[in-house]
Structure 1
Amino acid sequence: MSIRKLLAKIHLFLGLGTGLLFTVIALSGAVYTWEPELSRIAYQQEVKAMDLPFVSISEIRSTLQKHFPEGDFRTALYRDPESSIEVLLYVPGTYYHAQINPYTAELIHLQDMNKGWLNYTKKLHRNLLLGNVGREIVHWVTLLALPLLISGLVIWWPGRGWPRKSSFRIKWSGPPRKTNRDLHTNLGFYATWVLIFALITGIYWGFGAVRETIKQLSGEKNMSWEVPHSIPPETGQFAVNDVVLNRLIADYHSNFSESEVRIGIPHAKDDPVQISVIAPKKGINAIDHYYHDQYSGEGIAGDFQYGLARNRSSFERINGMVYDIHFGTILGLPGRILVFLASMIAASLPITGFFIWTGRKKHTIQKGA
């Protein structure tokens, strides 16, 4: 048996074995590519801009205590003038996002992030709604999809010479069987060059051994980091100082008016106040983290694992790029469109491939008769 025929059999068996799951994972991933825009609609994040200062942490806390006292206030994300403030709240077994009007502190929307169609779409992509078992299935389907795509690319290339022009086009006027084959092989060729990156990043997330290997190669395992701490007063019980938090978020939101600013709420007496400055549409590696003493508000300097973006280690840069590559955000809107289209094509490949297979079987039976 030639290598080409062997690859064709591998392609067939992998496709039949993982096709349905691959379609579900790819289709849900295509939808989730537009998570920021869908969240803005589903969670009512858009507000009317007003010529008023943004509300303080104290005002947000007052709203939460009134409407959702059981929620453990963790972070507040201050965004642009036409977006709500997004608050992260923990409750046993789940977590919530609360959308707060930045001018009135009104609670606009409260969402359990383990429920809702958009969160189910995310879970469908990550674990097929089957928890840890589903997560492992997704990891292995992703791994097997890589040789599936590569073998398909080899099969697409002609045995002799260079591909013809027809190998890059879809003949809509031809018989359905030929059109279906073009949809599978020719669209698959185009999508493969994008999907390979989505699969490699998915494998990175799915298998700890891959991440540990990159950590070792990058020297991350040999690095040590300082841990930022607040200096608690010698007397008195721990209590969150909203005066300091109010001042810090007002200063940062004013100084970084073109960026989003997330402030963390301390939960232990030596916790620092962590403030993250997020440059919109520039990816995870464009986030700067700052630390302040929760009692005095003074900045805390040190060699921290998560600090300024320019000081990030090689491994952390790679780790940050993985998400941006997976969903195409590394190339901005064009990259997201590419990933969306490639994912939609990917979802169709097991279907068109199945029709190719059944068509061949039918043709073989008729020929034998």
Structure 2
Amino acid sequence: MGFKKTVFQVHKILGLVTGAIVFVVALTGCCWAFHDEIESLYDDYKYVTPQDKAFITPTEAKTIALSIFPNNTVHGTIFKQPNEAVEVIFYDGEPEFYQSVFLNPYSGEVIQADDHLSGFFAFILKGHMRLWFPKNIGENIVGVSILIFLLIIISGFILWWPKKRKNLKQRVTFDWKKTTRWKRKNFDLHTVVGFYIAIFAFVIAFTGSVISYNWLKYVVYMSTGGDKVPAFIIPENVSNSSSDTYAVKPIDFLIEKLRKESPESVSYELHYPESDTTSIYIEVANSKGLYYNSDYRFFDQNTLEEIETPAIYGKYKDAKVPDKILRMNYDIHVGAIGGIVGKIIAFLVSLTIASLPVTGGLLWYGRNYKK
């Protein structure tokens, strides 16, 4: 069997095995592309009238939110702009619980609670990440299938490459006539379209695999010359005292301190210490809709002394090129790295990827059931 015939068999078998999964993942990814923009059309409750008074403290926000969900775990609290509500996020793994309580930042009044596990986009995200299966099962199926899809893209490009240069035009254009049969049109839809989106599809699939697999994240980071830890590490406190000795907890001064240091920042997501020995972690968002250039900062919960982390997730100004590449991974995956244009590209590429299993399946069907 010749090389291309072997590649064809591999391409066909892998495509048939993973086609339905790739179709669902790509289609749901396409639907997810503009979820921020769509949700912003009906999120008026997240905005308040600015007042000339101080925000409620992190401790007060946590206490008020726990009165709504007393049996669940507070993941963190997001303090935004003067005209935006404070968002207290709850998350538990087993059983899965993911909700936000929005508070008036000046009075502490409860505005609304949102369930992130229900609604259209929650349904879409579950399909994209785990095919609506239980988390452990679905995520493994999706992860393996997308790795296989990378091989499908590579094998598809090998099959696309013409033996003779004169045939190149035929592989990059739709030369359809009135007499062109549907099988030929379907073949062109699969090969020509596949060629034009191959690089974009590979990038989206590869960045998705990096999100799924820590070992791949490590390989990418080390291969680009990284010298830190490619993980998220919350350092321990450096002091031995206890915040319980203070009349007002030091954590309640932290948001105001950061506002003065970086008033241009979009939001400040504070994560409460998990124990008496762990530091306070705050994610300072410097751009709306982007994550890669956020500052991840850590403070001793007793003295508010800033602590450096050995991981890549620290201050963005201290990030080296390998750190930035890995930190950009999610924003590249969803197209946010390119603003609205990037999201449009991600939308169109995802939609086109969803068509490839369909046209590929029709190619297989046409070869095996000629009548």
Q: Structure 1-normalised TM-score?
A: 0.82
Cα 1:295/1:207, change in 2 over 3 Å: closer
**Pairing 1:164–2:169 present:** yes
Aligned 1:76-155 pairs, distance under 5 A: 76-81=77-82, 83-91=84-92, 93=95, 94-130=97-133, 131-155=135-159
- The 2-side partners of 1:247 and 1:101 are apart by 19
Cα 1:240/1:278, change in 2 over 3 Å: farther
Measured after TM superposition, the shift of residue 344 of structure 1 is 0.6
In 1, are the aligned partners of 2:149 and 2:205 still within 8 Å (CA)? yes
Where 2:19 maps in the other structure, the secondary structure is: helix
In 1, are the aligned partners of 2:26 and 2:353 still within 8 Å (CA)? yes
Partner of 2:71: 70
Partner of 1:61: 62
Partner of 1:310: 317
In 1, are the aligned partners of 2:300 and 2:306 still within 8 Å (CA)? yes
Partner of 2:305: 299
Matched positions, count = 360
- The 2-side partners of 1:241 and 1:346 are apart by 58
Output the aligned Cα RMSD: 3.4
**Pairing 1:231–2:239 present:** yes
Uncovered stretches (5+) of structure 1, i.e. residues with no partner: none
Partner of 2:4: 4
- The 2-side partners of 1:265 and 1:68 are apart by 16
Measured after TM superposition, the shift of residue 49 of structure 1 is 4.8
**Pairing 1:189–2:195 present:** yes
Measured after TM superposition, the shift of residue 243 of structure 1 is 5.3
- The 2-side partners of 1:88 and 1:199 are apart by 29
Structure 2 letter corresponding to 1:231: S
In 1, are the aligned partners of 2:270 and 2:283 still within 8 Å (CA)? yes
Where 1:109 maps in the other structure, the secondary structure is: strand
Cα 1:112/1:312, change in 2 over 3 Å: same
- The 2-side partners of 1:304 and 1:147 are apart by 34
- The 2-side partners of 1:343 and 1:170 are apart by 25
- The 2-side partners of 1:71 and 1:226 are apart by 22
**Pairing 1:199–2:205 present:** yes
Measured after TM superposition, the shift of residue 80 of structure 1 is 3.7
In 1, are the aligned partners of 2:79 and 2:87 still within 8 Å (CA)? yes
Q: Structure 2-normalised TM-score?
A: 0.81
Cα 1:142/1:253, change in 2 over 3 Å: same
Where 2:328 maps in the other structure, the secondary structure is: helix
